[in-house]
Amino acid sequence: MDFNDQDRKKALKKGDGKYFFIRSFAKGMNVLELLSENESLTVSQVAKLMTINRASSHRFLSTLKELGYADKDDSSRYFLTSKVIELGMKVLDRFEIRKIARPFLQELSAKFNETINLGYFNGEEVLTIDKIDSTEILRMDAGIGGGEPAYCTSLGKAILAFLPDMQLKEYLQTIELTPFTPNTVISKDKLKKELLQIKENGYSIDDEELSVGLRCVGAPLFNHSGQALYAISLSGPSIRMGSKRIEEMQRALKKICQNLSGKMGNHYF
């Protein structure tokens, strides 16, 4: 989910008047986010997109370059460097779940040879914090760290189905159900019914709801207190993800998630 220009302006406005809010720092972070959404940008392009003057744009970009987070090509276009990735990976490494889950992801990968995803729900969207790619030529190719809407992904729906009632109610009140494909559920009543079914079945399916031609099956992971903050999914082209294969996948996935939840300290699965 992109943090667009309107969101940036709202965030800056929200911070106005707070004694701790450093507006110039916030703008610098917005420039960083802007570069992350574009392959490269000139000083003038950043100035226009950020609604700031060229001098300010140049200072922000030069500072990021000096700190090593950005660089400039021969055409004076600025782009982010791998230092940003290194920073993100340090954060991801804090997720102990990645280390615990890795052998379980590998087991699923060896069995089905489809893309295996480990997701974390941050309250708004589901973030992919680890994955194992399929070795097939035709495969899902999303990157680690990317966020997707929870309501139309198997990872997200597997977690949403097991949220406490008040948390789910709050989520449904604030989220806008945007259609990504003809299969995307955009009725909140229909979504609630689906989540009840997922809770009963113990697994979720994304039937080309986020991307045409892509199917996924997911299941939740429960921590020591019984919370479902994480989920695992298998993703692949719909031509390989027929009903029989999904049936086989969900059985294996639920068993994996049950065993991994036990490793996480949950003994009430």
Whether the model clears a pTM of 0.85, i.e. scores above it, the answer is: no
Note down pLDDT in tens along the chain; length 269 residues. 344 555 555 555 555 656 677 888 888 899 999 998 898 999 999 999 999 999 999 999 999 999 999 999 999 999 999 888 777 767 666 668 888 899 999 999 999 999 999 999 988 899 998 999 988 776 566 666 668 999 999 999 999 999 999 999 999 999 999 999 999 999 999 999 999 999 999 999 999 999 999 999 999 999 877 889 899 999 999 999 999 999 999 999 999 999 999 887 765 54
Distance CA 25, CA 138 (A): 43
For each of the domains in the chain, give its residue range(s) and CATH number, in order of start: 5-83 (1.10.10.10), 95-263 (3.30.450.40)
Cβ contact 50:34 at 8 Å = yes
Say if residue 247 is exposed, middle or buried (CB neighbours under 10 Å; 0-12, 13-18, 19+): exposed
- Determine the pLDDT at residue 138: 61
> Taking Cα atoms as reference points, which of 176, 189, 265, 183 lies closest to residue 216?
183
Residue 269 to residue 265: CA distance in whole angstroms: 10
Q: For the purposes of burial, counting CB atoms within 10 Å of the CB of 81, is it exposed (0-12), middle (13-18) or buried (19 or more)? A: middle
Question: Long-range contact list for 162-167, CB < 8 A, 24+ apart?
Answer: 162/199, 162/220, 162/222, 162/228, 163/228
For residue 53, what is the DSSP state?
Answer: -
Provide the H-helix boundaries in 120-242: 154-160, 165-174, 188-201
